[in-house]
């Protein structure tokens, strides 16, 4: 093949309508473009004749390099640079330093691969209207009220009751509910440990934006893993992350079972269900803890009032 390509081709007449190859650069391969010629066929129609073979070796088509099995479903990009893959373009900081997360010992905050930017050519753009301006307009301070607890502990009920109470007081709030977000933003995630971590990571970033907008963001999620909740706390370094722990016993939650999920989990029809065959790690230093009294969960209004009182005392609802 190489020998045939090296032999000088015999002179051939230039077909009508062809553009002659350029002779300005003799050291490079000369190429020319020839439109297809049309001639009548025996059936009366037209048929085309392909352009002549120029004797040029075509480069092989680019092939996609598949990612390892641990990253199934992704297409690997170009080889990584010879540097720490976690270093960002902004001042050489690692992704952990970028979000204010400190990695310490065995209790270090989980740093997921999705927190590492896929592009180094990104820059933060500041706008003239900042968080303080928005808070002054709303006459309140943005924060995140993160409600955590077992399924059936009353998280969604508290979130909606709290949102209504703030609304009646003229305060702007928004509820991020776990099931609701799995209908849209997180519909591609399941309930495996890595999917749960990514679910909470995304919610944490969204909640941070709501708080930056000056709203009281009420996030209602089981969020069973302590390290994931601490990652979200680290996104708000100004003390505006308020963790509310609904400390209801498994027996109480299972007896209530409003969605029938405990029954399915006990029957083995749901795997990885928190409290049954997947652990729940309670907060170690939450801002608010609401407990059951004599085996009875407090009323939604009482729980919401407890959170509102905290927000007032800390100045989040003040003009």
Positions annotated as catalytic residues are: 223
Distance CA 126, CA 273 (A): 42
The set of residues, in sequence order, having a beta carbon less than 8 Å from that of 121 and lying 6+ positions away, is 89
Q: How many CB atoms lie within 10 A of CB 204?
A: 25
Distance CA 180, CA 22 (A): 63
Burial annotation 29-42 (CB, 10 A radius, 16+ → b, else e): eeeeeeeeeeeeee
Tokens of 230: 């601490």
The set of residues, in sequence order, having a beta carbon less than 8 Å from that of 282 and lying 6+ positions away, is 226, 245, 247
Q: Which of 144, 120, 114 is nearest to 234 (CA)?
A: 144
The set of residues, in sequence order, having a beta carbon less than 8 Å from that of 310 and lying 6+ positions away, is 242, 287, 288
Tokens of 27: 């050291």
Distance CA 282, CA 278 (A): 13
Diameter of the chain measured on Cα atoms: 101
């Amino acid at each position: 093949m190489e020998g045939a390509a090296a032999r000088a081709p015999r002179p051939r007449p230039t077909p009508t309508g062809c553009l002659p190859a350029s002779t300005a650069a003799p050291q490079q391969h000369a190429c020319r473009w020839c439109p297809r010629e049309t001639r009548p066929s025996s059936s009366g129609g037209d048929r085309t004749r392909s352009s002549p073979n120029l004797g040029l070796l075509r480069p092989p088509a680019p092939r996609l390099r598949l990612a390892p099995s641990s990253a199934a479903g992704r297409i690997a990009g170009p080889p990584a640079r010879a540097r720490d893959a976690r270093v960002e373009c902004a001042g050489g900081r690692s992704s952990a330093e970028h979000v204010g997360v400190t990695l310490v010992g065995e209790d270090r905050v989980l740093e997921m691969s999705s927190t590492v930017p896929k592009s180094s050519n990104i820059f933060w753009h500041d706008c003239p209207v900042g968080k303080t301006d928005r808070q002054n307009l709303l006459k309140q301070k943005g924060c995140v009220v993160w409600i955590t607890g077992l399924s059936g502990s009353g998280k969604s009920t508290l979130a909606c009751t709290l949102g209504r109470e703030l609304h009646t007081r003229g305060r702007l709030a928004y509820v991020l509910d776990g099931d609701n977000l799995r209908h849209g933003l997180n519909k591609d995630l399941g309930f495996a440990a890595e999917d749960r971590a990514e679910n909470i990571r995304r919610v944490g970033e969204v909640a941070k934006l709501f708080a930056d907008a000056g709203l009281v963001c009420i996030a209602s999620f089981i969020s069973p893993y302590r390290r994931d909740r601490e990652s979200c706390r680290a996104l708000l370094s100004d003390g505006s992350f308020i963790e509310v722990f609904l400390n209801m016993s498994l027996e109480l939650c299972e007896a209530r079972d409003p969605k029938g999920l405990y029954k399915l989990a006990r029957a083995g029809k749901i795997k990885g269900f928190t409290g049954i065959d997947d652990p729940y790690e309670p907060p170690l230093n939450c801002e608010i803890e609401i407990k059951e009294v004599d085996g009875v969960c407090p009323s939604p209004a009482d729980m919401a009032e407890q959170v509102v009182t905290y927000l007032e005392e800390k100045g989040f609802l003040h003009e």
